[in-house]
Amino acid sequence: MKKPQKTTSWGGVAHWYDTLLAGNDTYQARVILPNILRAMAIKKGEKVLDLACGQGFFTSAFFQEGADVTGVDLGKQLILIAKKHSPKEISYFVQSAEDLSIFEDNSFEKITIVLAIQ
């Protein structure tokens, strides 16, 4: 029996969410990001996987901190936006966080899942 395909409801609001996060005066930028960066203590070249990365807000910040970062999200529209805004060195994949078999074991030193579980 074929497994049902995973979907997300974020496609319809992807552009709205991207616009929401565009400014520096957001809860994500002022409160969440500084605390995540402090907790992660990213080292230059460290391999980071950002699960449920959305439109790449945190993924790009991890890259700016020196991480070799990869973003994964189930929302195709969000990944398209992330690719459009992000440096080309960041890899993005439309993929369920439940199946990470596209990556070899031990490919990452740190894994984040910011704001996906609420």
Q: Where along the chain do its domains lie?
A: 11-112
CB 15 within 8 A of CB 75: no
Q: What is the pLDDT of residues 100-111, one digit of tens each?
A: 999 999 999 999
Structure-block tokens of residue 22: 């565009």
Where is pLDDT greater, at 5 or 30?
A: 30
Q: Which of 115, 104, 105 is nearest to 50 (CA)?
A: 115
* Superfamily of structural domain 11-112: Vaccinia Virus protein VP39 (3.40.50.150)
Q: How far apart are the first and last CA of the chain?
A: 31
Rounded to the nearest angstrom, the gap between the alpha carbon of residue 85 and the centroid of all alpha carbons in its chain is: 13
Q: Please report, for residues 1, 8, 56, 90, the alpha-carbon distance to residue 14 in angstroms, rounded to integers and kept in the order given.
A: 32, 11, 11, 19
CB 7 within 8 A of CB 28: no
CB 55 within 8 A of CB 83: no
Where is pLDDT greater, at 32 or 63?
A: 63
State pTM to two decimals.
0.83
